[in-house]
Structure 1
Amino acid sequence: MDVAIIGGTGYGAVELLRFLHNHPHVEVKKVISHSNSGTDLAEVYPHVVDIIDMEMAELDVDTLAEEVELVFFATPSNVSKNVIPALVDKGVRCIDLSGDFRLRDGEKYQAYYGEEIAPREYIEKAVYGLPEINKQAIKQTSILANPGCYPTATTLGLMPAFDKDLVDRSSVIIDAKTGVSGAGRSLSLNVHFSEMNENFKAYNIGVHKHIPEIEQILTDRANKDIQVIFTPHIVPMTRGIMSTIYVDMKDNYSTKQLIDTYQTYYQDHPFVRVRKEGVLPSTREVYGSNYCDIGLYADERTGKLIIVSVIDNLVKGASGQAIQNMNIMYGWEEKTGLDQLPIYP
């Protein structure tokens, strides 16, 4: 199957290329970049020289619709919503790695993203692509809203406890950390070496774009309005997200009981690994992979469940999950092109 990638110079795009290069069912026909059209991909990313020989192109919707069956959007927010409707109308399926189709509430989108939401008819067509909860809907969709990195780690960590009614849903505290690649490839003072090296800081408290996304997923699962306290931090590492979540248990569960529940819940989901009692995951253990690793601790003294959930923000938090969703959309084995060990050390 021929596919294209729009937004070809970002980290999301180059991760898509890394995994799709060896995917048995897919060939990347075009990489599209407005800022680098006419430039060889290897000039922007020298590590692909003699491996991927391709010149980046300008976007032409009519031509693209004739050449490919699926388009990945690795673009900033407020870009894909202007292009996806035209492609979908021409029969092209789209996987959007940005936030343009994740939220259903137009007012919240305006408040957190600063622009109007995509046209309502296309928002209603879009399916939120968290495979562990939405697999059946993913199979049928023409617009796949790929989840954000923080929401992926956080909701996978919380979902069994929510669905099995093990915790008080009115008090959810999320302490999350990301590597600097989460800020993208463009220059920013926030991730300048001298600003970030040997430093660790919180940012965007109360206004982070992933807050309404997390709350929307949890509200859907709980069938009641859920609000969370979410504090993101940036740490001096390249890749990885660790989401540490604190919730009140409804009963005196032991750590072993909770681990058994989580392992049963995720037994048919190949990319979620629940650690044994006394073992907590680290970001290094999922580096470069599509895995989400979860560790649990039931603090019987305080009645709190502490959940530690880690992913690679560029893989399970973006491009790897997009390919996982593509596999589901086309009926291929879910791990196709993604079944590889994490990079260690």
Structure 2
Amino acid sequence: MKVAVIGTTGYGGVELLRILHTHPAFQIQSIHSTRGEAPIWEEYPHLFAINNQVLEGIQPKEIAEKADIVFLATPSGVSGQLATQFAELNIKVIDLSGDLRLKNPDEYTKWYKHEAAPQNVINKAVYGLTEWNREKISNAEWISNPGCYSTASLLGLAPVVKGNLVDPTSIIIDAKSGTSGAGRKPSRMNMHAEMSENFKIYKVNEHQHIPEIEQQLKVWNEEIKPITFSTHLLPIARGIMATIYVQLQKDMSQSELYELYQEHYQNAPFVRVRPEGYYPSVKEVCGSNYCDIGLHLDERTGRLTIVSVIDNLMKGAAGQAVQNANIMNGLDEKTGLDFIPMYP
């Protein structure tokens, strides 16, 4: 099956190339960028003698004639425009940006500060939170890949929110990301001199993933109220840790909660629920498509702490995109992704 990747000069795009290089069912047909024709290894020297493909311009009609699937690894605001051009072409689309995630165009404009894609284009896309939307993904032609913070947060919250076990006003998410989450474009947010030996909070209760998280939580439980969501930058390249606090509204033991999560994720090969008393760190999922979850119930307060970690470029972007592509094309979801995290 032939695939095209648009936006290969960004971190999400080049991570797609790393995965697809050894994927047994997907062949990289073409790679595209607005930066002009040049071998991809000139942009990313680690690909020298591994991938000598030349970056091509973006001509949607030509891409659709040669490929079966296109991955849009372009920034928000750009993906929506490209998706509109692909809407009438015979090709499957997986968008890694936020442009097709929010079903309400006004919400998108409010949070992303861009003009939204047309409603009919937005409606074509299935929200690709793999573990909770497999059936729809398997029948989809278009996928809107979830955001990185959203993936970690929603996978951590899903079992207790769907089970109506939490106070709907109590959700607090304290999330931290490596600097690759800020993208490759130079800024003060990702300068080494600014971030080395430092730890920053940013977009306090203003991050664009907030409406995405709330939208999906309300699908599971319409009683859920606005969440408190803070984001921080860690002085590391990749990885996300979401520490989530919820107030339980039903008496449960630590063991019962652990069994609940084990039951919900027993058929999810990339979600690992840690045993009682063990909590994951970002290093333990680095370079992989895993989401690791740890739980702690404070019996004094009735508050549950959920620790959810992912690699933001893998389960939070390219890895989940390929996982979704596998499912929508009838493949085992682990195909091309079943490798061990890098450690140390």
Indicate whether the TM-score tops 0.5. yes
CA RMSD, aligned part only? 0.9
Cα distance in structure 2, aligned partners of 1:136 and 1:252: 32
1:23 corresponding residue in structure 2: 23
* Deviation by residue 1:97-131 (Cα, 9 ceiling, x = unmatched): 00000001122111111122111111111110001
Residue aligned with 1:189, SS: coil
2:230 corresponding residue in structure 1: 231
Cα distance in structure 1, aligned partners of 2:69 and 2:4: 7
Cα distance in structure 1, aligned partners of 2:315 and 2:342: 14
Contact persistence 2:272–2:290 (CA under 8 A): yes
Cα distance in structure 1, aligned partners of 2:61 and 2:106: 32
Cα distance in structure 1, aligned partners of 2:241 and 2:311: 9
Contact persistence 1:252–1:300 (CA under 8 A): no
Correspondence 1:222 to 2:205: no
Residue aligned with 2:170, SS: strand
Cα distance in structure 2, aligned partners of 1:161 and 1:330: 31
Residue aligned with 1:206, SS: coil
1:297 corresponding residue in structure 2: 296
Cα distance in structure 2, aligned partners of 1:277 and 1:270: 19
Aligned-residue offset at 1:252: 3.0
Residue aligned with 2:292, SS: strand
Structure 1 residues not aligned, in runs of 5+: none
Contact persistence 2:168–2:224 (CA under 8 A): no
Structure 2 residues not aligned, in runs of 5+: none
Correspondence 1:136 to 2:142: no
Residue aligned with 1:191, SS: coil
Residue aligned with 2:169, SS: strand
1:48 corresponding residue in structure 2: 47
* Deviation by residue 1:273-329 (Cα, 9 ceiling, x = unmatched): 000000000001100000000000000011100000000000000000000000000
Q: Which moved more, 1:134-143 or 1:320-329?
A: 134-143
Correspondence 1:183 to 2:168: no
Residue aligned with 1:253, SS: coil
The percent identity for this pair of structures is: 50
Q: Which residues of 2 match residues 29-108 of structure 1 at below 5 A?
A: 29-35=29-35, 37-108=36-107
Q: Which moved more, 1:39-48 or 1:316-325?
A: 39-48
Contact persistence 2:9–2:43 (CA under 8 A): yes
Q: What is the TM-score when the length of structure 1 is the normalising length?
A: 0.98
Q: Which residues of 2 match residues 109-258 of structure 1 at below 5 A?
A: 109-258=108-257
Residue aligned with 2:55, SS: coil
Aligned-residue offset at 1:192: 0.9
> How many residue pairs end up in the alignment?
344
Q: What is the TM-score when the length of structure 2 is the normalising length?
A: 0.98
Contact persistence 1:218–1:226 (CA under 8 A): no
* Deviation by residue 1:189-230 (Cα, 9 ceiling, x = unmatched): 111111111110110012111010111010111023531000
Cα distance in structure 1, aligned partners of 2:309 and 2:68: 33
Residue aligned with 2:58, SS: coil
Contact persistence 1:262–1:274 (CA under 8 A): yes
Cα distance in structure 2, aligned partners of 1:283 and 1:253: 28
Contact persistence 1:153–1:310 (CA under 8 A): yes
Residue aligned with 1:224, SS: coil
The residue identity in structure 1 corresponding to 2:71 is: F
